[in-house]
Chain A
């Protein structure tokens, strides 16, 4: 059974550019969540998508957005990149995040560096 796949693994962008990260969840999983991991702030919840709808959102500016497709694959977009956006972005999938019994399976993340 394939795990959660995130692409690309590494990315270097320039300030002001935009970036799109991709996440393919485990087959059958309908919930996809995104997290930002930095040395200073730790792991922070960005948003969660379920059945193509954003269900929950963390405390991040509107430059951070996402979407989910009918096959549950999700993309995350960051516009007008800032140096502080440099981080490891982790995607997690679950059958349904409303029930913690299902648990979350994480991908290996995308390491974004903004220069």
Chain B
């Protein structure tokens, strides 16, 4: 079974600085999707960025980018120019591309604090 590990329970960064959240995963599959979701106090999970495992190029969405290292099974999220609105829980998630038999597998999350 696949597992997702987020080793940083909490991270703190100054507003306008850059922060990187770590995620590692374990799977025997070669084709899959990886996601970063953000969960603010409103509780709704919001998709931040998505990466297809067969693509070498790292995904980017405005201030958010990933460093996808398939061989190392690492998928970190970089947030540039941090804003107060970025404060939230961030979850890394995995899904096998052959169908959602196990749904999304989530890590335990990283609580991101933005210092003004």
Within A11-44, the residues touching B (CB, 8 Å) are 31, 33, 35, 42-43
**Residues of the A chain whose Cβ atoms lie less than 8 Å from the Cβ of B95:** 100
Contacts of B43 in A (CB 8 A): 88, 90, 108-109, 111
* Cβ distance A78 to chain B, nearest Cβ, rounded Å: 18
Chain B residues with Cβ below 8 Å from A90 are 43, 45
A100-B52, A108-B42 are contacts. A45–B47 as well, Cβ < 8 Å?
A: no
Question: How many residues does chain A have at the interface if contact means C-beta atoms less than 8 Å apart?
Answer: 28
Of A3, A55, A99, A100, most buried by chain B (CB within 10 Å of CB) is A100
Instruction: Give the complex CA separation of A42 and B45 in angstroms.
Output: 13
| Cβ–Cβ < 8 Å partners of B47 in chain A | 103-105
**Contact indicator A33/B100 (Cβ below 8 Å):** yes
For A97, list chain B residues within 8 Å (CB).
Answer: 99-100, 103
Q: Find out whether the CB atom of A100 lies under 8 angstroms from the CB atom of B33.
A: yes
Q: What chain B residues lie within 8 Å of A101 (beta carbons)?
A: 33, 50, 52
Do A106 and B46 have beta carbons less than 8 Å apart? Answer: yes
Are B108 and A42 neighbours in the complex by a CB distance under 8 Å?
Answer: yes
User: Are B103 and A33 in touch, CB under 8 angstroms?
Assistant: yes
Contact: B44 with A48, CB < 8 Å? no
What's the Cα separation between A103 and B106 when bound, in Å? 14
Tell me the smallest distance from the CB of A94 to a CB of chain B, in Å: 9
Determine the distance from Cα of A46 to Cα of B108 in the docked complex, in whole angstroms. 17
Interface 1/0 per residue, A48-77 and B, CB below 8 Å: 100000011010000000000000000000
A92 interfacial by beta-carbon distance below 8 Å: yes
User: When the two chains form their complex, are residues A104 and B104 in contact, meaning their CB atoms are under 8 A apart?
Assistant: yes
CA distance A35 to B52 in the complex (A): 22
Partner of A45, one of B37, B42, B91, B104: B104
For residue B29, CB closer than 8 A to chain A, the reply is: no
Question: Which residues on B sit within 8 Å (CB–CB) of A2?
Answer: none
Chain B residues with Cβ below 8 Å from A103 are 35, 47, 50
B residues near A (Cβ < 8 Å) are: 32-33, 35, 37, 42-47, 50, 52, 91, 95, 97, 99-109
Chain A contacts to B: CB under 8 angstroms: 3, 31, 33, 35, 42-43, 45-46, 48, 55-56, 58, 88, 90, 92, 97-101, 103-109, 111
